Structure 1
Amino acid sequence: MNLMERMVEQARANKQRIVLPEGTEERTLKAADRILADNIADVILIGNPDEIRALANQYQLTHIDQATLVNPLSHEKKETYTQLLYELRKAKGMTLEKAQKTVEDPLYLGCLMIKNGDADGEVAGARNTTGNVLRSAFQIIKTVPGVKVVSGAFLMFIPDTSYGEEGLMVFADCAVVPDPTAEELAQIAVSTAKTARDIAGIAPRIAMLSFSTKGSASHAMVDKVVEATRLAREMEPALKIDGELQTDAAIVPAVGASKAPGSEIAGHANVLVFPSLEVGNIAYKLVQRLAHAEAVGPILQGIAAPVNDLSRGCSVDDVYKMITITCNQAISLKK
C-alpha cells in the first residue's frame, strides 16, 4: 500500500468534515464527487445550492447530493457566525455591520465553520490567491500555540528510490515565507518534522540547507541557517536535524561522509528545509520537472486547524489528494 492509499484508508476509517469554499468551481466539484463516491470525507460545499446542483448535472456528477450545501448569503447559522467573527475581530476594528457582510465571503465562512466546530478542515485556492486563502485563516483560526509562522511543505515522490525514504522526501518552505528569520526557519523545521511524521508517515531526518557545509563558507546567510538549527534543537531536543549542509552533503552518503563526518543526517536526509522561499520554490519545481518527481502540496503547516491552499492551475486529482491530506491532518490534530 503506497502513501496515498494509506491516507485514503485512514480518512475512510475516521471521516472528517471538509469545507470547500469554492463550491461552484469545476475541478473542486469533480474532486468532491470522487471523494464522496470513495467515502473519504463528509463534504461541505459553499455556494448557491441551485447553481451547484445545475453544475453537478452538467458535469454528470452522481454523488454531489450527498454533500452539505451552504448558501453563503442565507443559511441557518449566519447570525451565529456573524457574532463569532465580531467577537474575534472587534479589537481590530470589526463592527457588527462589517461582520454581517464579511461572513458572506466563502473563505471567511469556511474558516468560521471550522472555528465554530462545524467543520474539521478546508481546501481552497483553485479560484482564489494564496494570500486570500491565508488571510481568513490567519484572522480566524490563527496559528498553533508556540508557532508564529505558517509555511508550505511539498511531498516529493522521486523515481530514484535511493534518495530520502525510498524516494519520498519532504521539502519546505516552498510556498509562504519569502525570507524567514532564524527563529522562523527553526519553526518551519519543527513544523515540517510534524508533517513528515503525521502525513508522510516517516521518521524525519532534517537537513538545514545552505551553500556551505559545516563552515566551508562564511556569510550572514550561512549564520542564519546555523542559528536556526540551534533554535530548532532547543524547541524539540529529540529532533534529528543538522545544518548547515549543502544539498549534496545532505542527500548523497559518500559526499555527506566526506563533507560532514560524524553527522547522522548528512547523506541520509529525508526532509530538506530551504533557507528562503526563493530557493525552496525553485528547487521543488526543478526536481519536479527534471527528475520527473510527483510534487504533492503545498501542505500548509502551523495553522491551528488544517486549511490547505491549491494552485490555481491544479487538476481534479490535485484537489482530491489535497482533500485526503487535509482529512489526515485533521485526524492527527485530534490525537
Structure 2
Amino acid sequence: FRNSLFSRAKENNQVILLPEGDEPRTVQAAGFILQHGLCSLILLGEREKLLEAAKVYNVDLRSAIIKDPSDPQELEKYATVYYQTRKHKGMTLEKAREILGNDPITLGTCMVSAGDADGMVCGAVHTTANTVRPALQIIKTDPATPIVSSVMFICLEDAVVAYADVAINASPSADELATIAIASADTVTAFGLEPRVALLSYATGDSNAGPLVQKVADAASIARSRRPDLLLEGPFQYDAAVNAAAAKIKLKGKNSEVAGKANVFIFPDLNSSNIACKVVQQHTGATVIGPILQGLRKPVNDLSRGCTVKDIIATIATTAIQAAAEKKKSKAVAVEAMKARKE
C-alpha cells in the first residue's frame, strides 16, 4: 500500500507545506520526499537552522522552498488573508500580524488558503486542536460536506482497511454518520481502493432494537439515499462485516454485497473507533496512516506527536494524493456549473 501511495503521489506534483519545518523527524521525512520526488515541499523555518539540521541528518533540502515565518513581507501578505477571513469575528490586521508571527500552523493554513500550497501536514509538536481549529476557520469545509471527519488506514498483513471517524466527532448523529460514511468512501476511492462500507453497531441487521442500533440503521438509509452508487450497508457487528461465515449466520442467508467483505468501517462514536484503532495497533503491530482529515476545501492533515519519520512520509504522500483529488473534484464541479449555466 505504501508503494501505491508513493506512486500516486508522484503522478501529480503537488506542493505540500510543512510548518514545523525544523522539527527533526520532519526534516528527515522532507529529505526522503524530495529524494524520491513524491511532491514539492515548502518548509517554514529559519533557513540557516534548517540547512544545519539537514547536515545533521544527512538529507538534502536544497530543492525545498524555505520560507522564514518572521519575514515581514510574507507576514504582511498572509496577515491580510487572515484578517479578511476573520474580520467578521472581530479580527484586526494588527491582531492578525501578532497571531501569525507566533503561530506557524495558522500562518501555514493561510498559505494553503491563499493557494500558495496545495495541502499541509503538521502536528509533530502541536496538538490536534491547534491543527484543526485554524483549518476550520480559514480553509473551511467543502460545501458538499457539512462536517469535517477523519479516516485512518490500517495496513494489515493481507488487506488494507479504513476506520472512521477516529479523531473529530465524538457522538455523531445519524445524519452526520451518513456524511462520514460517504466522505470515507470517497477518500478510500481516491487511494485506488474499491470501498465496501459497513456501518457498525452492537447488533447485525434486525437482530436487536434500541436507539443506538436505530441510529446506525438510519445512517445507512440516509447514506444510501444520497449515494446509491456506493456499496454501503448496516448495521453490522464487526465479525459479520469481515467474516463471511459469521455474516451468513447473522444475516440468516440474506444477500449482501458488503457483509463478510467490508473494508471501510464506520464506528458509531469516537470512543469505539479510537479504542479499536489502539487495539489493532498494539496487538497486531499494523502500520497505520492517519488520521486523514476529510471534508475541508483543501487537505490539512494532523500527525500524532509520537509519530515516526515513516508516519510523516506516509502522511505527506497521502496529503498530496488528497490535494490532487480535490483539484479534480473542483474542476468537475466547475464544468457541471458551466453546463448548467449554458442550459
Q: Specify the TM-score bucket, using the shorter chain as the normaliser.
A: over 0.9
Residue 226 of structure 1: which of 200, 217, 234 is its match? Answer: 217
Residue 87 of structure 1: which of 61, 84, 87 is its match? Answer: 84
Q: Compute the TM-score of the two structures, normalised by the length of structure 2.
A: 0.92
Q: Compute the TM-score of the two structures, normalised by the length of structure 1.
A: 0.94
Query: Is 1:69 matched with 2:66?
Result: yes
Alignment of 1:101-116 (within 5 A): 101-104=98-101, 105-116=103-114
- Aligned position for 1:292: 285
Counterpart code for 1:246? Q
Give the % identical residues.
42
Query: Is 1:184 matched with 2:149?
Result: no
- Aligned position for 2:323: 330
- Aligned position for 1:53: 51
What CA deviation, in whole Å up to 9, does each residue of 1:213-256 have, x standing for no partner?
Answer: 11222221111111111111122121111111111111111111
- Aligned position for 2:309: 316
Three-state SS of the structure 2 residue aligned to 1:333 is helix
- Aligned position for 1:97: 94
State whether residues 13 and 40 of structure 2, in contact with CA within 8 Å, keep that contact through their aligned partners in structure 1. Answer: yes
Three-state SS of the structure 2 residue aligned to 1:262 is coil
Residue 207 of structure 2: which of 207, 216, 225 is its match? Answer: 216
State whether residues 5 and 314 of structure 2, in contact with CA within 8 Å, keep that contact through their aligned partners in structure 1. Answer: no
Structure 2: stretches of 5+ with no match in the other structure: 329-343
Counterpart code for 1:94? M
Residue 18 of structure 1: which of 16, 30, 41 is its match? Answer: 16
Distance in 1, Cα, partners of 2:142 & 2:286: 31
- Aligned position for 1:169: 161
Query: Is 1:263 matched with 2:261?
Result: no
Distance in 2, Cα, partners of 1:213 & 1:6: 34
Counterpart code for 2:75? K
Q: CA deviation at 1:292?
A: 3.3
Structure 1: stretches of 5+ with no match in the other structure: 162-166
Query: Is 1:242 matched with 2:240?
Result: no
Distance in 2, Cα, partners of 1:170 & 1:115: 28
Q: CA deviation at 1:177?
A: 1.2
Distance in 2, Cα, partners of 1:306 & 1:94: 24
Q: CA deviation at 1:131?
A: 0.6
- Aligned position for 1:301: 294
Three-state SS of the structure 1 residue aligned to 2:73 is coil
Q: CA deviation at 1:75?
A: 4.9
State whether residues 10 and 39 of structure 2, in contact with CA within 8 Å, keep that contact through their aligned partners in structure 1. Answer: yes
What CA deviation, in whole Å up to 9, does each residue of 1:13-51 have, x standing for no partner?
Answer: 321111001011000011001111111111111112222
Q: CA deviation at 1:272?
A: 0.6
Size of the alignment, in residue pairs?
Answer: 325
Counterpart code for 2:226? M
Q: CA deviation at 1:107?
A: 0.6
Q: Post-superposition, which runs of at least 4 consecutive aligned residues in structure 1 deviate over 3 A?
A: none
Counterpart code for 1:296? I
Q: CA deviation at 1:79?
A: 2.0
Query: How well do the aligned residues superpose, as a CA RMSD in angstroms?
Result: 1.3
State whether residues 198 and 264 of structure 2, in contact with CA within 8 Å, keep that contact through their aligned partners in structure 1. Answer: yes
